[in-house]
Amino acid sequence: MKRLSIFVSGGGTNLQRIAEYFADNKEVEIVNVICNNPNAYAIERAKNLGIPCKIINRAEFKSENFTKELLEQNIDLVVLAGFLWLLPKYLIDAFPNKIVNIHPALLPKYGGKGFYGEHVHEAVVAAKEKVSGITIHYVNECYDSGAIIFQAQVALEEGETADSLAAKIHKLEYQHYPVVIEELVRN
């Protein structure tokens, strides 16, 4: 059995999709959800899915005890699904190539601190890009700079808005992130 921990900060739509994808899979278990935002709707989603959710503050998150807890739970893969905090080095070191993130753009473009959610889509539209997409990558100590695992792209149409692009990107996320996670835990 492969054990996942999913880190979230917001609405939790990717959490929902990942949980639904693995619901009948006897080889993958979502052990917990870690949330850094006590007002995030992802907490309600986790509750509705029957997944334990831990709400953490910044001091607790940066504590080595947090990393120790994850190690004690025998987590095989940490999945960032809209988690906005930079991970401490000892957490990354404790899970080498076992922490993944999904970014709503084709890295290395439109990545780094401050580039998340609507900020990414607004920048892509403002730059009049022809394509955008998703990047699933390993996490290192810098925002959005870990080794790329997978990318998928979508064309921007005439008159594309940040909202319409976000809808296209969400479809790519829901389609590909669970599949890539499954491939990673199989290897």
Distance CA 54, CA 36 (A): 8
Q: For residues 136 and 149, is the Cβ–Cβ distance under 8 A? A: yes
Q: Which positions are annotated as active-site residues? A: 103
C-alpha pair distances (Å), 68 with each of 53, 94, 140: 17, 9, 18
Helix segments in the chain, DSSP class H = 13-22, 42-49, 58-62, 64-72, 89-94, 117-126, 162-186
Burial class (CB in 10 A: 0-12, 13-18, 19+), 28: buried
